[in-house]
Amino acid sequence: MSASNLEWFERAQSVIPGGVDSPVRSFRSVGGTPYTVASGSGAYVTDVEGTTYIDYVQSYGASILGHAEPRVVQAIAHAAQLGTTFGAPTPGEVLLAEEMVQRVSGLEQVRLVSSGTEAVMSAVRLARGATGRSTIVKFDGCYHGHSDALLVAAGSGVAQMGLAGSAGVTSGAVANTRVAPYNVVPTLDSSIAAVLVEPVAANMNLVAPGEGFLSALRAECDRVGALLIFDEVITGFRLARGGAEEFFGVTPDLWCFGKVIGGGLPVGAFGGSRELLSHLAPNGPVYQAGTLSGNPLATAAGLSVLAALDTAQYNELSATVSNFATQLADAISSSGLVALTPHVGPLMGLYLSLEPVAAPKNFLEATSLCENSLYRPFFHAMLRRGVALAPGAYEILFVSLAHSTNDLERTLDVAAEAALEVVSSSVGAPT
C-alpha cells in the first residue's frame, strides 16, 4: 500500500475505465490526480500516502454517522460470522423493513434491492404495471440512477460529464419519459403512469423545492390518477426520521430509498401501500428480483445505522448544517467571491459566483453557476489544505454526525484561505 496516489491512479486507469467504478468519483471535471482512499474514520478519510482529509463526500450520502462507525462495524462483523448470503429469507430483512415502515407514515411494505438505481427502476416498472399506463414524468437535472429510461436530462455525474443522456440508450428506451423543469408543476393527462421527483433536488448541486411545489404536484397527480414517486435515495432517513414526507407533509404513492439505509453497504428499497405492492411478483404480475437483495450484511449495517438515528440526531444535524452553511458563505465572501449555500434540513449545496445571484430554482440556473469555472480552483485549494469536497460542482456537501465543531471551524478557516487564493489567481485572468 506504499504506492503513491499517482501510481494507484495509473494502475487503476490501466484496468478500470477512467480509473473509477463510478464516474462521479473521477477528477475529470476538476483535473489533477485523485486521492486513493486507504481508510476512513468518522469525518475523515486517509489516502494511500497517509494524508488525512476532512471528508464532505461521505460516499455521496451513504454515510451519515461517519466512516467505520464502531456500532456499524460490529454489526457487519457479527453478521458475517453467521453467513453472508443464503438465497432464503433472513430475519435481518424483516427487521429492516419493519424499521422503515415504522418510521415512514403511509409506507406499508418495502422490497429490498441492492442499489438506488434498482430501487427507482423497479418502482417505475411497478407504477406502469399497476396503472396500465406507460409515460413517466421526471424533472430536468434530477438523477434517478443509471437505468436506461431515466438516463435523460439527469444531473450529477451525467451533468459533470457534459452528456445530455448517454450513448447506448435507445430512443425507444426513453420514448415514454417526459422531462419537465424542476419547481414548475407540469400539466398531466391520463397517459401518465407516474411523476418521479427528488423531493429536494440534490444531484444538480442543491435546488430546494419551492413553497407548495410538492403539494401541488401531489394534487396534479391525483387529478389524473397518476402515481407520485418520491426518489428519496438521498433524502430518505437523512432529511428527517420519516424522510421528505415528514419534512414537507406531502405523501407520495411510492418511495425509493438507498444510500443511508445501507449503512455503507449496497442496499436500496422501494415501497408503498400493501395494495400497490401486491402487483409485485410473486403475488402479482410485475416481475422484480435479486440474488443478493436483502443481503444479511447490508441489512445488519442498515439496522445499526437506523438504531443510532432518532429525531434528536436529525435536529442536531439540521442545526449544525444551518449554522455551518451561513458561516461557510460568510467565510468565502470575505474574499470577495460570492458563495451561495442553500440548505434544507441537513442537506446543503455550494455555488460560487463572481456577482451576487439568487439561489437556483431549476437545472438551467444551477448549470450556469456550476459551469462558471470557479469550483475547480476552489476544490483544489480546499484539497491542498486537507478538506475533501466532491470532485464536481453538481454535488452537494454531506456533513455527517461525526463532523465535530472543530472540524467545521477548521473547514471555515480553510475555505476563507481557499477563496482568497481563487480570487487572487483569477484577477486579470480571462473567465
Ligand X SMILES: *Cc1c(COP(=O)(O)O)cnc(C)c1O
Residue type, position 13, single letter: Q
Task: Return the residue of 97, 233, 286, 401 that touches ligand X, per CB under 6 A.
Answer: 233
Cβ 355 to ligand X, closest distance in Å? 30
Q: How far is CA 403 from CA 37, 54, 165, 253, in A?
A: 18, 8, 35, 35
With contacts defined by CB under 6 A, how many residues of the chain interact with ligand X? 14
The three-class DSSP label of residue 133 is: coil
Q: Is residue 163 within 8 Å of 28, Cβ to Cβ?
A: no
Where do we find the cell 484561505?
417
Task: Return the residue of 26, 58, 117, 183 that touches ligand X, per CB under 6 A.
Answer: 117
Residues 36 and 322: their CA atoms lie apart, in Å, by 31
Cβ 112 to ligand X, closest distance in Å? 13
Cβ 256 to ligand X, closest distance in Å? 7
The dihedral built from the CA positions of residue 135, 140, 141 and 142, taken in this order, carries a sign that is: negative
Task: Return the residue of 75, 152, 180, 234 that touches ligand X, per CB under 6 A.
Answer: 234
Catalytic residues: 143, 231, 259
Q: How far is CA 371 from CA 30, 140, 285, 332, 375, in A?
A: 11, 16, 45, 18, 8
Q: Does 129 bind ligand X (CB under 6 A)?
A: no
- Nearest residue (CB) to ligand X, 120 versus 195: 120
Task: Name the grid cell of 240.
Answer: 428527517
Beta bridge partners of 113: 268
Cβ 290 to ligand X, closest distance in Å? 13
Task: Return the residue of 58, 115, 341, 400 that touches ligand X, per CB under 6 A.
Answer: 115
Task: Return the residue of 9, 44, 56, 143 that touches ligand X, per CB under 6 A.
Answer: 143
Q: Does 403 bind ligand X (CB under 6 A)?
A: no
Q: Does 230 bind ligand X (CB under 6 A)?
A: no
Q: Does 198 bind ligand X (CB under 6 A)?
A: yes
Cβ 421 to ligand X, closest distance in Å? 31
Residue type, position 429, single letter: A
Q: Does 363 bind ligand X (CB under 6 A)?
A: no
Q: Does 302 bind ligand X (CB under 6 A)?
A: no
* Spatial CB neighbours of 32, under 8 Å, sequence gap ≥ 6: 380
Residues that bind ligand X in the complex, under the rule CB under 6 A: 115-117, 120, 143-145, 198, 203, 231, 233-234, 258, 268
